[in-house]
């Protein structure tokens, strides 16, 4: 399900990028505008990753099963 969702999102994003190319054809940003745009893109990306990790932590998907053989092997030094 997640694979399909990620594919659909990437497909939709590529469509948005493809259709806005003509609209921004005359957009010629200078250095300061590029820095601001990249800062906004990176900030949104980092905030999205933090949100995803927070949901993962809250739901408990990052916890390992205490009865897992992998955990016992790791704790007993069998790497």
Q: What is the pLDDT of residue 51?
A: 95
C-alpha distances out from residue 13 to 35, 57, 66, Å: 22, 27, 40
The single residue listed with the structure tokens 């790791």 is 74
32-64: pLDDT as tens digits: 888 998 999 999 999 999 999 999 888 888 776
Residue ranges making up the domain that contains 71: 2-75
pLDDT at residue 21 tops 70: no
**What distance in Å separates the CA atoms of residue 5 and residue 10, rounded to the nearest whole number?**
9
- Number of domains comprising the chain: 1
The position carrying tokens 């016992």 is 72
């Amino acid at each position: 399900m997640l694979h399909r969702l990620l594919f659909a999102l990437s497909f939709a994003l590529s469509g948005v990028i493809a259709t806005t190319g003509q609209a921004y054809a005359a957009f010629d940003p200078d250095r300061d505008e590029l820095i601001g745009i990249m800062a906004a893109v990176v900030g949104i990306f980092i905030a999205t990753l933090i949100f995803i990790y927070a949901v993962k932590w809250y739901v408990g998907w990052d916890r390992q099963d205490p009865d897992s053989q992998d955990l016992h092997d790791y704790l007993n030094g069998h790497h």
